[in-house]
Amino acid sequence: MEMHHIKTRHFLTTTFSAESLPDLSGKVFLVTSGKAAIAGLASRGARAAEAISDMRESLEGKETVLHGLVNNAGIMGVPFSLTRDGYEEGVRFRDPSLPLESSMTRYGQSKICSILHAKQLHALNKTSSAISTAAMHPGHIDTHGHAPASILCFMTPIMKCAGILDNQAKDTLSSLYAVTGPEFAESGGYVVPYAKLGKPSTMACDGSLQRGCGSGL
């Protein structure tokens, strides 16, 4: 599968920044990895906890409500492997050809699946205006946290020197925008760098693929 399917077309700008976060006093958020996101939420009065492994255990007996879930953890460009549950690391498409594909091709497929999954969650909850979902393009962030593909080992130092990689302070902007920003009003939308709506490709809008991503929900 070619990587062109994760290209986006931006159609809305935003003035959102970390300083424009609203008052979040009394709000409860769960973040799957990402101390910067937790700090950003807490700076506006929210109670934000990090889910290490089991989200239910992170909340049970501690909170009675949940106002936002930020699935922030991720990996990129790793060799093919399966989780103990039988899923491919980073990918949810059941495609027997994937073990033969490059790590970056498989990473691209995981990104499109994230968009489709957010759209399907919105479709299943479209009768409830109280629930909204979004998929994120993380941006070009120097996270220091992934086991990169060989091409990334070569390209990362070059991208740093060229100023292409952004620092980690920008890593949380899009997530915070979607989970708290008063401007964000498109459930099932795709948020691109940084903190603005984008339009995913034709494949990422495929209804049959979308329903397939939600078949286990």
The secondary structure of 76-109, three-state, reads CCCCCCECCCCCECCCCCCCCCHHHCCHHHHHHH
Amino acid 15: pLDDT: 75
pLDDT of 10: 42
DSSP 24-41: -TT-EEEESS-HHHHHHH
- Residue ranges of the domains in the chain? 3-75+119-210
pTM of the model: 0.76
Q: What is the residue whose two structure tokens read 């995913």? A: 200
Residues of the chain predicted below pLDDT 50: 1-12, 147
pLDDT tens column, 38-61 = 888 998 999 888 776 666 676 777
Q: What is the DSSP letter of 202?
A: S
Question: How many C-alpha atoms does 190 have within 13 Å on its Cβ side?
Answer: 25
